[in-house]
Amino acid sequence: MKKNIQFTKFFNCAVILSSVLIIAGIASVAIRGINFGLDFKPGMIEEIKIANTVVDVKYNGSAKVTLDASENGIQLVVSGLGAENQTVDINYATSKTVADVAAELNKIEGVSATVKADGEIPAGGLFVNSAVSTTLSETALNLYAPDAASSVKADDIRDALKAFNDVDVKNAGTDSFQIRLGADENGKALQTEVNKTLSEKFGSEKVAVVKSDFIGAQFSSSLIKSSIILVLATLVLIFIYSTIRFKWDFALAAVIAIVHDALIMVSFISFIQMEFSTTTLAAILTIIGYSINATVVILDRVRSDMKVVEAKNFKDILNSALNSTLSRSIITTVTTLFAVLALFFFTTGTIHDFANALIVGLISGCYSSIFIAGSFIYAARKNQKFTTVTQSNVVQFRAEETEE
């Protein structure tokens, strides 16, 4: 039996409901704000490795000697008064073990290298702690080697840093972790505290900082502005596309529907104080793409039915189009929700938040394609009348603008 739901009867209620939710969301943003994640805050990014100290390197002399370790080998630069300026390269292709590297270092005047582990460990992959000076002195500079037997996980790092606020830890490779912390102008002091905490937890000779960067408040503000511009540019392009494919009122209805979905998602994020990160922004853009696809299908059916469906007014045509596409809208939303719900229940962290935002967005996208876009189209075209013209056994209609 053909469905004959009178969707137009619910348009006013839908508009009121959406308006209440969006106004409440705007009030929540104004009062409580948005819980911006580390991606939108000034802070510190540090990559560490849990590794073993394999060589201690010291220098006793008047020159300045710096040591740098790369993927291919070790480079020492000797400079300053009272010394012969030189650059010494120790290549892992010829110095294949830790013992070989230490032997080459000991050949340099004033430099002493002591092997602290098995000398037969392959030299490839040696690195230094960038958090300390790479200038050699009488205080030992550690050379580290990856620890294949390490059982440290990202959760262990998080647990060690639980006393710090705004901490995010991700795996960055074998025994390598990326730590992101919110920080202000005292970022250097915070970095020292973080490294001290990790050294106390895992041992001072096992924690090596591979690299570290600081993100200032100006960069974070720029990222927020860029994100807003990105969303607005997306809306403009969608409006242009919809205008070319349909009429201006259809295009505006599509844009209103996706703006509605974006505001509903932002309202939801503010209500529950979910962390707003680049992953959450990706969820909003994903829903914008999903919603415009669902809306275009409905608008295309409305345009088609205006030519081939027998009706006396636009309300009947709109209800017919919405009834025809209802099954498609529901099935598409439900099947997509199955995958998103799996992510929601079986993942944690940013992926869990991504799925949470998508659930709200999918439901809102299905609803707005029918009721919000439909409401605007109905308001714009409800005064149209139609007369039938029979051609080749196909009933066609010519729209005539009339005054109410």
Residue 32 pLDDT: 87
Residue 275 pLDDT: 83
Lookup result for tokens 């004033």:
110
Cβ pair 115, 99 in contact under 8 A = yes
Provide the 3-class DSSP secondary structure of residue 53: strand
Residue 371 pLDDT: 92
Residue 384 pLDDT: 64
Looking at every residue in the chain, the average pLDDT score rounds to 81
Residue 216 pLDDT: 63
pLDDT band at 49 (very low <50, low <70, confident <90, very high): confident
Q: Kindly give, in sequence order, each residue whose CB lies less than 8 Å from that of residue 167, ignoring residues fewer than 6 positions away.
A: 158, 161, 179, 180, 181
> When comparing pLDDT for 212 and 142, which is higher?
142
The half-sphere exposure of 84 on its side-chain side, counting CA atoms within 13 A, is 6
Residue 14 pLDDT: 92
Residue 2 pLDDT: 58
pLDDT band at 183 (very low <50, low <70, confident <90, very high): low
pLDDT for residue 400 is more than 70: no
- Residues shown for the chain: 404
- Report the alpha-carbon distance of residue 196 to residue 253 in Å, rounded: 57
pLDDT band at 222 (very low <50, low <70, confident <90, very high): confident
Residue 359 pLDDT: 94
* Residue pLDDT, tens place only, 224-279: 788 788 888 888 888 888 888 888 888 888 889 989 999 999 999 999 988 888 88
- List, by residue range, all CATH 1.20.1640.10 domains of the chain: 7-40+218-401
Tokens coding 35:
């819980």
pLDDT band at 164 (very low <50, low <70, confident <90, very high): confident
* Residue pLDDT, tens place only, 82-131: 667 888 888 888 888 888 888 988 888 888 988 888 888 888 778 887 66
Residue 360 pLDDT: 93
CATH topology (fold) of 7-40+218-401? Multidrug efflux transporter AcrB transmembrane fold (1.20.1640)
* Residue pLDDT, tens place only, 352-367: 889 999 999 999 999 9
Residue 386 pLDDT: 56
**CB burial class (10 A; 0-12, 13-18, 19+) of residue 389?**
exposed
Cβ pair 178, 47 in contact under 8 A = yes
* Residue pLDDT, tens place only, 295-313: 888 888 888 877 765 656 7
What number is the average pLDDT over the span 192-213? Answer: 80
- Report the alpha-carbon distance of residue 399 to residue 388 in Å, rounded: 10
pLDDT band at 389 (very low <50, low <70, confident <90, very high): very low
Cβ pair 87, 68 in contact under 8 A = no
> When comparing pLDDT for 134 and 39, which is higher?
134
Tokens coding 70:
């790369």
- Report the alpha-carbon distance of residue 93 to residue 103 in Å, rounded: 15
Residue 28 pLDDT: 92
For the chain, the straight-line distance linking the first and the last C-alpha, in angstroms and rounded, comes to 34
Tokens coding 247:
């009429």
- Report the alpha-carbon distance of residue 57 to residue 73 in Å, rounded: 15
Please, where are the H alpha helices in 273-313?
A: 278-308
pLDDT for residue 148 is more than 70: no
Angle at 253 between CA 370 and CA 397, to 5 degrees: 80
Containing H/E element for 318? helix 314-346
- Report the alpha-carbon distance of residue 289 to residue 4 in Å, rounded: 29
Considering just the CA atoms, what is the radius of gyration of the chain in Å?
32
